[in-house]
Amino acid sequence: MTHNFDSTVLREYDIRGIIGETLGADDARAIGRGFATLLRRAGGQKVAVGYDGRVSSPMLEHALVEGLTASGCDVVTIGLGATPMLYYAEASGEDVDGGIQITGSHNPANYNGFKMVFQGRPFFGSDIQKLGEMAAAGDWDDGSGSVESRAILGEYVERLLMGLGDVDRAALADLRVGWDAGNGAAGPALEMLAAKLPGEHHLLYTDVDGNFPNHHPDPTVEENLADLRALVAEKNLHFGVAFDGDGDRIGAIDGEGRVIWGDQLLMIYAEDTLKTRPGATVIADVKASRALFERISECGGKPLMWKTGHSLVKSKMKETGSPLAGEMSGHVFFADEYYGYDDALYAGVRLIAASARLGRSVTELRGAMPAMVNTPELRFQVDESRKFAAIREVEERLANSDSDVDGTDGVRVTTPDGWWLLRASNTQDVLVARAESDSEEGLARLMAQIDEQLALSGLERGESVGH
């Protein structure tokens, strides 16, 4: 028996498709067969499986479990929950060798997909392509695994609470925080967590609804924070936290309604973490502000700029022993007192703890940050066959100039005006651009350089497209 996946489904960091068009039960079954075969061949036996709140998730879970057991793996089902709860089940379960979360993350409601962990490491890139090759060849082992259910929500929430660390709970009695689960999978854990946290907590949209009736669950898009901003203003709260659809990315606003972007959150976490981990490496992706890298140095850390992509960042953390990393997209990874994966609920708890330990409110911490003028992430359509080639052309042209170029992931060019970035997306047929300066005039000059490089490769920026 063999299976062929739609060409768009097996991505760099995860597996993702449109239900009924490019992704269905047969795909889930084939993923289970391939993953179980690889795990057993590597000496593993048991896989934890969880799913998010999308309408299609239970159907995919059923087929995935069929595939896993048919190739001889035992399965632990943990039910509906956030992706980091699945990561927790894999990281904390002594008898668990791998994990698969069924999730469409922050994509529209008709999408779904899979995020995977294999013997404690991210499963991505060539691993995912291997599943496709095995399916096409029918290279699957046969077996008959068992299925058991584990209720771990309560245990997971208790572990989240440990993120407060040594902070005096009584000192947090006057804390007032707003939270927006966006009808995503983090809702039940958030309700349980907020009931146990000190202070006053106001929750939005904790009912899990895969149709996302209130707003799209992507906290990096400012318009999706409008309801949280209104709540913080109405209740005079200290700050607000929002999650994406599967709870692995965080968004935040301060008490004045200002967005605290991913790299700005990392500035707060880095200052707090480096107090107890002096000299440690802190990793951020190539889209992050220069102000972040400078702040890490000021706080006694070693800043490391790395490639965009949660799997790539997690792998680099393991390699360098870094206690903290983050991306502009709101993935924040704590290996300091935690497991090194991206957990937005834990990041929310750590924001409370960091503010308390640093002795400054989140609003004060945000207000002290340098005012930079920057673009959002600009994404524009480019033919798949051209996207990487165009970046190589830009690299070659700049290699013959006196530009200050970093080629970690695409091209990041530093000039007296600031910096600009041009990189190819690993998951879509788009190029991504970003620029940052300390003045509007400087930003305009940087954008002109991007447009010039695109024109030399026969491309234009055009209108920005979504994720």
pLDDT tens column, 281-296: 999 999 999 999 999 9
Domain borders along the chain are 15-151, 156-367, 373-456
Burial class from Cβ neighbours inside 10 Å (0-12, 13-18, 19+) for residue 30 reads buried
pLDDT at 467: 53
pLDDT at 90: 97
Residues 6+ apart with CB under 8 A from 453: 394, 397, 398, 422
Distance of alpha carbon 241 from alpha carbon 228, whole angstroms: 8
Task: Work out the number of other CB atoms within 10 angstroms of the CB of residue 206.
Answer: 19
pLDDT at 385: 87
Q: Is 364 helix (H, G, I), strand (E, B) or coil?
A: helix
* Residue reference for tokens 């799913």: 51
* Class of the CATH domain delimited by 15-151: alpha beta
CA dist list (Å): 425 to 133, 263, 330, 390: 23, 19, 17, 12
pLDDT at 271: 98
pLDDT at 400: 83
pLDDT at 402: 83
Q: Which residues of the chain have pLDDT under 70?
A: 463-467
Task: Work out the number of other CB atoms within 10 angstroms of the CB of residue 177.
Answer: 24
Indicate which residues carry an active-site annotation: 105
Residues 6+ apart with CB under 8 A from 272: 350, 353, 354, 357, 358
156-367 has the same fold as 15-151: yes
Strands 378-381 and 373-374: unpaired
pLDDT at 463: 66
pLDDT at 403: 86
Distance of alpha carbon 183 from alpha carbon 202, whole angstroms: 15
Strands 98-102 and 46-51: parallel
pTM score over 0.85 = yes
Distance of alpha carbon 378 from alpha carbon 376, whole angstroms: 6
pLDDT tens column, 224-265: 999 999 999 999 999 999 999 999 999 999 999 999 999 999
pLDDT at 414: 95
pLDDT at 461: 84
CATH among 3.30.300.30, 3.40.120.10, 3.30.470.20, 3.40.630.30 for 156-367: 3.40.120.10
CATH topology of domain 373-456: TATA-Binding Protein (3.30.310)
